[in-house]
Amino acid sequence: MVNTLSIIFTLIGLVLGVGLGFILRKKKSKGLIEKAMQEANQIRNKAKSDAESMKKEKILQAKERFIELKSEHEKVILDREKKVVLFVLVLQVLDNVALVVLEEMAPGSQDW
């Protein structure tokens, strides 16, 4: 009877030990999963923050580059406009000189 009772208590202890071990392991696994999820969320949030910072920086760089290119373009256009205005002025002077010469050479324009 002692042997049977020992075996029964041993089996009960074994079943309780396995059951308790299973419950503790499940609880520990759940804690590890929650911790891993928190770390993953932190990593994701940091990545989002870093990406947003990089995006803002790249937009700022693009705006600065646009301003540089616009300034260079305006300088080129202004230089061309100066050349055109100078050319038009020279043509106007030549036109005025030609008109004076033609008026002087026209018949009846000379006092004879």
Mean pLDDT score of the chain: 89
**Quick check: 81 and 75 in contact, CB under 8 A?**
no
109 pLDDT exceeds 80? Answer: no
The reported pLDDT for the residue numbered 27 is 86
Average pLDDT over residues 39-60: 97
- The per-residue pLDDT for range 7-35, each reduced to its tens digit, is 888 888 888 888 888 888 888 888 899 99
Q: Using the predicted structure, report yes or no on whether residue 111 has a pLDDT greater than 80.
A: no
Q: Residue 11 has what pLDDT?
A: 84
**What is the secondary structure of the chain as a DSSP string?**
-HHHHHHHHHHHHHHHHHHHHHHHHHHHHHHHHHHHHHHHHHHHHHHHHHHHHHHHHHHHHHHHHHHHHHHHHHHHHHHHHHHHHHHHHHHHHHHHHHHHHHHHHSTT-S--
